Amino acid sequence: MKYPYLLRGLEITRANHVWVADITYIPMAKGFCYLMAVMDWVSRMVLAWRLSNTLDSSFCVDALEEAIRRYGCPEIFNTDQGSQFTAEAFTGTLRSKSIAISMDGKGRWMDNVFIERLWKSVKYEDIYLKGYGSMAEVRKGLAAYFMFYNEKRWHQNFDRKTPAMVYFSNQPQRQAAA
């Protein structure tokens, strides 16, 4: 099922207003795997991520559930129209938490530009430099990279603040979802 795009003309100014997610491939010495991440729109903080060697929806649902468990619920969740994000397991999780579902139109990659920029950073600052040989190595490397990205890597657009600094300064009370 397709869902409408809810972000057109919307002013997004606070953490947990809009989360976005996407999937990219990660090349390894032999083969590749898939990376899915959930990101807060305002802060660019990576809230959760998962690797998989298949493109089923289960790894996406796992990342979504972790983000909700750790950071509460966003008002709106925006993705593309990929089969993982239109799957009942994924949309059902969002609906069960009363999270509005927003999906980009076909060919509208700019609608998820922040997570597209994340993929470029991940690949050029970590993946391509390290040349991981296995999913276990990728998982260990990305755990360190995302900690660095969220907590130490400042962003020019945020006046030299990190995503975590921006997220938590825009989030007066952090409540985990029930």
pLDDT at 88: 95
- Per the domain annotation, does 154 fall within a domain? yes
Q: Is residue 2 part of a domain?
A: no
Asked if residue 177 belongs to a domain, the reply is no
User: In the prediction, which pLDDT does 81 show?
Assistant: 87
Res 174: pLDDT: 47
**pLDDT for the residue numbered 171:** 66
User: Residue 113: what pLDDT?
Assistant: 82
Helix axes 113-122, 135-151, angle to 10 degrees: 120
Token pair 């976005």: residue = 20
Q: Is residue 102 part of a domain?
A: yes
Domain extent, residue 39, equals 18-169
What's the rounded Cα separation, in Å, for the pair 47 and 166?
13
Note the pLDDT of residue 172: 52
Asked if residue 10 belongs to a domain, the reply is no
pLDDT of residue 162: 93
pLDDT on residue 163: 93
Check residue 72 and give left, alpha or beta (phi > 0: left; psi -120 to 50: alpha).
Answer: left
Is 3 within a domain?
no
In a domain, 4, yes or no: no
Burial group, residue 145, by CB count within 10 angstroms (0-12, 13-18, 19+) = buried
Q: What's the whole-model pTM score?
A: 0.90
Round the CA-based radius of gyration of the chain to a whole number and report it.
16
In a domain, 134, yes or no: yes
Domain count, the chain: 1
Q: What is the CATH number of the domain that holds 164?
A: 3.30.420.10
Neighbours of 102 (CB within 10 A): 21
Q: Reduce the secondary structure of the chain to three states and give it as a string.
A: CCCCCCCCCCCCCCCCCEEEEEEEEEECCCCEEEEEEEEECCCCCEEEEEEECCCCCHHHHHHHHHHHHHHCCCCEEEECCCHHHHCHHHHHHHHHCCCEEEECCCCCHHHHHHHHHHHHHHHHHHHHHHCCCCHHHHHHHHHHHHHHHHHCCCEHHHCCECHHHHHHHCCCCCCCCC
Tens place of pLDDT for every residue, the chain, 178 residues?
779 989 888 999 999 999 999 999 999 998 999 999 999 999 999 999 999 999 999 999 999 999 999 999 999 999 988 899 999 999 999 999 999 999 986 655 566 788 989 999 999 999 999 999 999 999 999 999 999 999 998 877 788 899 999 999 976 554 555 4
* Strand order across the beta sheet in which 46-52 lies: 46-52, 32-40, 18-27, 76-79, 100-103
